[in-house]
């Protein structure tokens, strides 16, 4: 109930009036039944604008810290994230991927839509990075279609490291559902999982127009930070190198 209150009464109308998000291909999302919505990830605002363009509820997994912060603030935060369609997952342990997979399966078994960011984290520079194979494994084990999605412009509304940037009209593009039933029974084959993931990422790239980098986003962020630290430590050397 709180989800629909936020979407249609509290937050949704404000976002629609202020930003007037554009939607393309929403007819590609099934009107009922389970589906995986695989999107690029430019900003924390992605999970606000993408579900806003659909009549159905979309559920994501979110880090457990949003749900177990102590005090009154923590209680309100927990209610907000749970009510807005998030389920908690502990990303610190080695079993984080399994926990996310189990949570996703429960959502899909209910016949709902599950939203996932195959890159695993937000892009720090607007490029599209290598997808993690969890989305492929989930698709094979649950036998549900994957709808590729591109969200464009949210990094202008809320750039990385900032709560708010500037006004623009975000665009949400839904691609045609991808069917991977031809790989049934191969969910433990890592080459098949990589092939499926790459196919999904290619469709996201085609929809978003982003430059693709065949590297995990987390590694790219680490290398970018190291380069920045090196430049700060020795600006003269960095200037010479550039």
CB count within 10 Å of CB 66 equals: 15
Q: Pick from 203, 151, 183, 137: which is nearest to 44 by CA?
A: 151
What is the pTM assigned to this prediction?
0.87
3-state SS track over the chain: CHHHHHHHHHCHHHHHHHHCCEEECHHHCCCCCCEEEEECCCCCCHHHHHHHCCCCCEEEEEEHHHCCCCHHHHHHHHHHHHHCCEEEECCCCCCHHHHHHHHHHHHHHCCCEEEECCCCCCCCCCCEECCCCHHHHHHHHHCCCEEEEEEECHHHHCCCCCCCCCCCCCEEEECCCECCHHHCCCCCCHHHHHHHHHHHHHHHHHHHCCCEECCCHHHHHHHHHHHHHHHHHCHHHHHHHC
pLDDT at 194: 98
pLDDT at 131: 97
Cβ atoms 40, 119 nearer than 8 A: yes
- Looking up tokens 């986003």, which residue turns up? 217
pLDDT at 143: 97
The domain segmentation of the chain, as residue ranges, is 2-241
Q: Pick from 26, 40, 45: which is nearest to 166 by CA?
A: 45
Cβ burial 137-159 (10 Å sphere, 16+ → b, else e): bbbbebebbbbbbbbbbbbbbbb
Give the strands of the sheet with 35-39, arranged side by side: 22-24, 171-174, 146-152, 35-39, 113-116, 58-63, 86-89
Q: How far is CA 125 from the centre of its chain?
A: 16
pLDDT at 96: 61
pLDDT at 160: 79
Query: Mean pLDDT of successive 10-residue segments in the chain (242 residues)?
Result: 80 92 97 98 92 93 72 73 68 63 92 95 96 96 97 92 84 98 95 98 98 96 84 62 52
> What's the CATH number for 2-241?
3.40.1130.10
pLDDT at 44: 87
What whole-number distance in Å separates Cα of residue 193 and Cα of residue 239? 42
pLDDT at 49: 94
Beta bridge partners of 23: 172
């Amino acid at each position: 109930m709180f989800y629909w209150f936020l979407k249609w009464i509290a937050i949704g109308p404000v976002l629609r009036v202020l930003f007037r998000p554009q939607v393309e291909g929403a007819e590609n999302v099934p009107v009922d039944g389970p589906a995986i919505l695989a999107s690029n990830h430019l900003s924390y605002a992605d999970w606000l604008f993408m579900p806003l363009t659909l009549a159905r509820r979309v559920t994501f997994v979110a880090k457990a810290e949003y749900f177990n912060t102590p005090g009154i603030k923590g209680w309100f935060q927990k209610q907000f994230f749970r009510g807005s369609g998030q389920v908690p997952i502990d990303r610190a342990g080695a079993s984080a991927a399994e926990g996310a997979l189990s949570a996703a399966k429960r959502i899909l078994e209910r016949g709902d839509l599950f939203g996932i960011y195959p890159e695993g984290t937000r892009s720090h520079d607007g490029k599209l990075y290598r997808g993690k194979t969890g989305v492929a494994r989930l698709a094979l084990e649950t036998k549900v279609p994957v709808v590729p999605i591109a969200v464009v412009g949210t990094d202008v509304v809320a750039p990385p490291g900032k709560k708010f940037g500037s006004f623009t009209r975000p665009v949400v593009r839904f691609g045609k559902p991808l069917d991977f039933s031809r790989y049934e029974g191969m969910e433990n084959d890592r080459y098949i999982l990589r092939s499926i993931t790459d196919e999904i990422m290619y469709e996201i790239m085609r929809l978003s127009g982003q430059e693709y980098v065949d590297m995990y986003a987390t590694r790219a962020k680490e290398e970018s930070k190291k380069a920045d630290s090196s430049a700060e430590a020795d600006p003269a050397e960095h200037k010479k190198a550039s």
